[in-house]
Structure 1
Amino acid sequence: MKRGFKVVTKYLDKGLNLPKRATRNAAGYDFECAEDFVLPSIWKKDFLKILRAVRKQKDYSNEDLVKADACLKPYLVPTGIKAYMQDDEFLMLANRSSNPLKRRLVLPNGVGIVDSDYYDNSGNEGEIFFQLLNFGLKDVVIKKGERIGQGIFMPYLQIDDEDKPLAERKGGFGSSGR
């Protein structure tokens, strides 16, 4: 098996669809949301009020920044899917072109990178989540089975004489270091 997708244990009996390409020449495999999910608008929690207060102050407090920053927190939307691939490959997660236009959803990190050792490592089964931020005025309800993003398998190159990392991945998001 070179590369592909499987459903994570938690969702085995939930009737999820594996990602698939929509057209013959599509590069990306469409990922669906694993369960109904409410993605709150960033404009909630007094975001504008906090932003105005911060702008008016020349010397704003750290507490003001923490409050404003909390409003911009992305949410992890579950797919219930894990991906296996070769050691010299990764899965690039990208937004759907319709998300910003129709639903006001963006990936705050631009693209996501799923490394080959994310799959079934000792501390994480490897479920893929899409980080999404809703900059629309209203909360967005994403229904189970709605397409939320796409994944593209990509090879990568390594430099000559690289010091090989010795660490083994033991977890999910952020587990490979700061």
Structure 2
Amino acid sequence: MNRGFEVVSRYQNAGLTLPQRATQHAAGYDFCAAEDFVLPSIWKLNFVKIFKALREQKPLTDQDYEDANHVLKPYLVPTGIKAYMGDDEFLMLANRSSSPLKRGIVLPNGVGIVDADYYGNANNEGEIFFQLVNFGVRDQVIKKGERLGQGIFIPYLTSDNEQAPQMKRTGGFGSSGK
């Protein structure tokens, strides 16, 4: 067992395909959406309201900022897939090169990192989600089976004098470092 992909149990009968490389020399495995998903545009009323108030030099309330931030938040698009790999590897999630240009859809953090110990965690079995933001002016409908992004397995090194972490992962998405 070196590295690979499996379908998580909640999507076991959903007819998902495992990530695949599109060409012989492609580094990334294409991940697809596990279900239809609407990715809202960031250009919604509460976000635009901030720009208008700033332009007109009107004071903004904490609620105005909270409302705008709610629109700007990334959404987690499910893939129904988990990845297993060696302890000295991670899976880097990245944009598809055409998504920002054609659809205005991006990973807001540039890349995502899936650690080896994320696989099989108790919270979500290690299901991989793509964290996406839609900078386009219209909501984007992502259809089940549509490519979201790509994942690349990468080995990593640790420093010679590292004090090895003792913490074990106890949860799912965003749980390391708690």
Letter in 2 for 1:26: A
Distance 1:58 1:48, change over 3 A: closer
Q: How far apart, in 1, do the equivalents of 2:82 and 2:100 lie? A: 25
Q: How far apart, in 1, do the equivalents of 2:79 and 2:122 lie? A: 20
Q: How far apart, in 1, do the equivalents of 2:28 and 2:140 lie? A: 23
Q: How far apart, in 2, do the equivalents of 1:56 and 1:70 lie? A: 22
1:128-160 C-alpha deviation (Å, 9 max, x unpaired): 000110111111101000001000000111011
Q: Is the 8 A contact 1:54 1:64 kept in 2?
A: no
Q: Is the 8 A contact 2:53 2:59 kept in 1?
A: no
RMSD: 1.4
Match of 2:71 in 1: 71
Mapping for residues 4-153 of structure 1, pairs under 5 Å? 4-57=4-57, 60-153=60-153
Distance 1:37 1:89, change over 3 A: same
Q: Is the 8 A contact 2:42 2:133 kept in 1?
A: yes
Letter in 1 for 2:138: K
Q: Is the 8 A contact 2:46 2:64 kept in 1?
A: no
Q: Is the 8 A contact 2:39 2:142 kept in 1?
A: yes
Question: What's the TM-score, normalizing by structure 2?
Answer: 0.95
Structure 2: gaps spanning 5 or more residues: none
Q: Is the 8 A contact 1:118 1:124 kept in 2?
A: no
Q: Is the 8 A contact 1:33 1:77 kept in 2?
A: yes
Question: What's the TM-score, normalizing by structure 1?
Answer: 0.95
- Secondary structure at 2:41 match in 1: coil
Q: Is the 8 A contact 1:81 1:127 kept in 2?
A: yes
Letter in 2 for 1:44: K
Structure 1: gaps spanning 5 or more residues: none
* Structure 1 residue 170 corresponds to structure 2 residue 134: no
Letter in 2 for 1:112: G
- Secondary structure at 1:101 match in 2: helix
Q: Is the 8 A contact 1:39 1:139 kept in 2?
A: yes
Percent identity over the alignment?
Answer: 69
Q: How far apart, in 2, do the equivalents of 1:58 and 1:162 lie? A: 51
Q: How far apart, in 2, do the equivalents of 1:155 and 1:58 lie? A: 51
Q: How far apart, in 2, do the equivalents of 1:164 and 1:136 lie? A: 43
Question: Post-superposition shift, 1:97?
Answer: 0.8
Question: Post-superposition shift, 1:161?
Answer: 1.9
